[in-house]
Structure 1
Amino acid sequence: MTSEILILTPSAVALAADSAVTIGNRKTYNGVNKLFMLSNDPPMGIMTYNLSNFSNIPLETIIKEFRAEIKKEDLTTVIEFRDKFIEFLDELVKNELYVCSFEDRVMEFIAPLDLNPIPVDEVTFVNIIRNIPNDWDYDIFGEDAELIIENLNQNNEKFINAIPNYDNFDNQDEILELFKKFFVYKEFLEPFTGIVIAGFNKNRLFPSYVEFNINYLFDDKFTFNEINDMDISGDQVHVRPLAQGDVIDTFLGNMDGNTRFKLINYVENIYGNYTINLIDAINNNPNLNDDEKQKFINEISKIEVANDSLNSSFVDFLDQLKQDHVDPILASISALPKDELSNLAESLIKITSIKRKVQSDLETVGGPIDVAIITRGDGFIWTKRKHYFDGDLNPQFFKRE
């Protein structure tokens, strides 16, 4: 995992990223590059988060090859850079040296089940494969949906052989289909690579950015999902935490999304349980006859109708509370000089790293923090950058850049 930040002000873009990479949720290494310069004409930078590979190729390699490729192009906007990057990936996966077949992906997925020294029992297996969101279908893959289903069916025997004690299940077809859907979700939906391209379009005085996700599937197939794109202007300021943004959200908005969800859920439960308890008390009251009970219950139904309004009012209150906290901070950020903007971006990543360090779980944010500032006049400027080598011993590297 990682923590990154994108800040757009009227005069500059700030980008910052940590250096941690987590291997199999067991070990963390620090030293991965996630922030890169793309161009100085126009000035553009790119950041990556979540997966660090695409089709088993390190993203650092892909981005540096892409950067060399676009020197021959006349790209002028973040959208053009994005479209060219997708074209570049498309050409890359057409080279058979860099692709996996569907069967390869299946075998890689089921291999750990065969190698597990402690066999998984049927109940545990079913609980595991049910632990995916159920609000999606294969249609999410568009024109590739039928091909994915066809490949799944062609590999039925491999999936069946990986299911523990398959013959003991009464609902074999249901378990098989659920296992295949679990495979697709875990391999083709959950693990994605996030990409952000930010900078100054050639004919604009204010900065822009585009964010999208990619995920390699099999053969020459991969998914592309646009998240957002924005052109700011005037006195606008936009702050976008990426990946692990809970600490940054708390700093900027007084609470993170998980806390907000829990508060809203808590208040909804209070309102809902209140009327339920009232109805139970009325039904269990021996001093009331059936007509009286029904009369009181009818009145309580009016309270239930009001619950939605109360819940909505509470959500509005939280939104206003956040806005009252955020507005002064954004106003201050818009006036920050470039060096202070760089310090802010670095500090927001650092406080996330500190929190992960003192928590009991894996340190998924850490290592040196890379920071860059992009302006229309000065271009892409590193304000903090790590190297795995001694710069004094490698002057040719800096001359090359």
Structure 2
Amino acid sequence: MTAEISILNKHAVALAADSAVTIGDGAKIFTSVHKIFCLSDHHPIGLMIYGGANFLGIPWETIIGAYRIKIGSRKFGTLREYGEHFLRFLATSPGLFPASQQNEQYRFLVKSYLYSLLQEIKSACDDLFSKKGKLSQAEIVAITAKIIDSHYSKWQSAPLIKSVSDAKFRVLRRKFRLYYRQQIKVFLGKLLLSVAQKNKIAFILASITYRRLFNTQYVSGIVIGGYGEKEYFSSIVDYEIETMLNNILKYKEDYSPIDHGNDAIIKAFAQKEMVGSFIEGVHPDFEQRSKRELKKITDSLPNDFTTSLTFGTILQKSKARKLFEKKVANLHTAYNQNMQQYKYRNFISKIVGIVGVLPKDELAMMAESLVNLTSFKRRISMDAETVGGPIDVAIISKNEGFVWIKRKSYYKQEINIKKI
């Protein structure tokens, strides 16, 4: 994991990132990883990575280095054009990502999905067995059918990713049809699956790379920030990239620009709960838990009320319950809206208002402090220190371009004068 932040106003973009990387399930943590990169001396553009440190087996640092050579001194009018050019580079670099490697990664995703599906079915069966003390074959079949139908419904409703047509999706299913059958037999062969259920699973396996549902476990984040040649205000674009098959990238995009009506942006990536607490005045997990508990209580009120009534017909009680449910739903919506307004008025707007006028050095200091806040929280808690190490900070402005404020180095500068 990691903690990274970008802060934008009409003066510049500040990027800050820690140096920690977690290997495996947290068994090993290194604190010397580079996560911020300058595109080149020719562009006021910076890149920041989070999530997966590799893409299809290649370190992002190597990929970005190759892209720096590819783009050279070429310039684009807008920041989004830089982002689109970077994505095209990923999709058209067979030397980095040969078809064999793309297919191998897809096979890994198929096996991972089938394994997780099997574990979900096993867990549901174990839960029922622990409650009843026994489990029939019919109950196992029913549990399996329910879970497969749930997964199928979710994937079927997800739209295809950009540039993938229904025809391309069908081609993928035909191409890997035999492989699907083989792996379904390997992982789920002991379950009594119908032909229809096997077809649903095959549909899901084809959807893994071509539909807009993302597994955060395999996602890498690429943040590109700065200015296009024709832009006077900064912006950032965040790409969450999961995989690539047949040179088609599976990714989603989030674009955040500064403009005449938007003076400041504060955006955290990866582990962002402490930044959220600082800006919004409440921990995101606590806020979500509060909303769930309140909804649970209010949702039970109509039934409790009508059940306690000692007068009225069944029809009258039913009407009363529906009216009560509608009133409770309206009150719940009003409560959430009022709390959001309170949070924005008393916390968010005050900080964002100041960020909008911060000079470049203060922008950099704020970005570093927010990353350090997350690092400090992990250090004094019982959680693994998945955020830590030196914090790299960079400022990107229209006039000065990309400028390092703080940057760690793995080599001694005094014996690398030529490198400097």
TM category, shorter: 0.7 to 0.9
Contact 1:5 1:15 in 2 (8 A): yes
**1:2-401 equivalences in 2 (<5 Å):** 2-27=2-27, 28-93=29-94, 97=98, 99-102=100-103, 105-106=106-107, 110=111, 123-124=122-123, 135-137=154-156, 139-141=159-161, 142-143=164-165, 144-163=168-187, 166-169=189-192, 171=194, 174=197, 177-178=200-201, 181=204, 185=208, 189-190=214-215, 191-233=218-260, 236-282=263-309, 285=310, 288=311, 291=313, 294-295=315-316, 297-324=318-345, 325-398=347-420
TM-score (norm 1): 0.84
Q: Secondary structure at the match of 2:324?
A: helix
Paired residue secondary structure (1:206): coil
Structure 1: 4+ residue segments shifted above 6 A: 111-114, 119-122, 125-133
What CA distance in whole angstroms lies between the structure 2 residues aligned with 1:328 and 1:296?
48
Specify whether residues 45 and 99 from structure 1 end up closer, same or farther in structure 2 by C-alpha distance, changes over 3 A only. farther
Q: Is there any run of 5+ residues in structure 1 with no aligned partner, and where?
A: none
1:133 CA drift (Å): 9.4
Q: How far apart are residue 37 of structure 1 and its match?
A: 0.8
- 1:75-114 Cα shifts (integer Å, max 9, x gaps): 2321221121112112214766475253564258649999
Work out whether residues 93 and 221 of structure 1, in 8 Å CA contact, stay in contact via their aligned partners in 2: no
Identity of aligned residues (%): 27
Q: Are the equivalent residues in 2 in contact too, given 1:356–1:364 (CA < 8 A)?
A: yes
May I ask how many residue pairs the two structures share in their alignment?
A: 387
- Pick closer, same or farther for the CA change 1:202–1:121 going to 2, 3 Å: closer
Are 2:37 and 2:46, in contact at CA under 8 Å, matched by a contact in 1? yes
Q: Output the CA distance in 1 between the equivalents of 2:25 and 2:194.
A: 33
* Cα distance, 1:347–1:179 mapped onto 2, change above 3 Å: farther
Provide the rounded CA distance (Å) in 1 between the counterparts of 2:97 and 2:228. Answer: 35
Distance, in Å, in 2 between the alignment partners of 1:264 and 1:214 is 31
Secondary structure of the equivalent of 1:216? Answer: strand
Q: Distance in 2 between matches of 1:101 and 1:78?
A: 28
Deviation at 1:158, TM superposition (A): 3.0
Give the distance between the partners of 1:298 and 1:157, measured in 2 at CA: 52
For residues 159 and 322 of structure 1, the distance between their equivalents in structure 2, rounded to whole angstroms, comes to 50
Q: Secondary structure at the match of 1:22?
A: strand
Please tell me the root mean square deviation across aligned C-alpha atoms, in Å.
3.3
Per-residue displacement from partner, 1:353-373 (whole Å, max 9, x unpaired)?
Answer: 222233434332222211101
Greater Cα offset, 376-385 or 154-163: 154-163
TM-superposed CA distance for 1:35, in Å, is: 0.8
Which range moves more in the overlay, 379-388 or 332-341?
A: 332-341
CA contact (8 A) 1:5 1:239 kept: yes
TM-score normalised per structure 2: 0.80
Q: Distance in 1 between matches of 2:233 and 2:57?
A: 37
Q: Which deviations, in whole Å up to 9, do the C-alpha atoms of 1:235-268 show, x marking residues without a partner?
A: 7111111122111011001124433332222222
CA distance in 1, matches of 2:350, 2:401: 28
User: In the superposition, relative to structure 1, how do residues 99 and 258 fare at CA in structure 2: closer, same or farther (>3 Å)?
Assistant: farther
Q: Which amino acid aligns with 2:192?
A: F
Q: Aligned in 2, Cα 1:221/1:319: closer, same or farther, shift over 3 Å?
A: same
CA-to-aligned-CA distance 1:103-148 (integer Å, 9 cap, x gap):
564258649999xxxx979724989987979533374243343244
Unaligned stretches of 5+ in structure 2? 126-142
Is the CA contact (8 Å cut-off) linking 1:249 and 1:255 kept in structure 2? yes
Task: Report if aligned partners of 1:139, 1:145 keep a CA contact under 8 Å in 2.
Answer: no
Name the aligned partner's letter for residue 215 of structure 1. Answer: E
Deviations 1:24-45 (A, max 9, x none): 2233222221111114444111
Contact 1:5 1:16 in 2 (8 A): yes
After superposing the two structures, state which structure 1 stretch, 249-258 or 184-193, moved more: 184-193
- Structure 1 residues 212-253: Cα deviation after superposition (integer angstroms, max 9, x where no partner): 222323353322322224233367111111122111011001
Tell me, in whole angstroms, the C-alpha distance in 1 between the residues paired with 2:99 and 2:408.
29
Deviates more, 1:343-352 or 1:196-205: 196-205
Which amino acid letter does the alignment assign opposite residue 122 of structure 2?
A: V
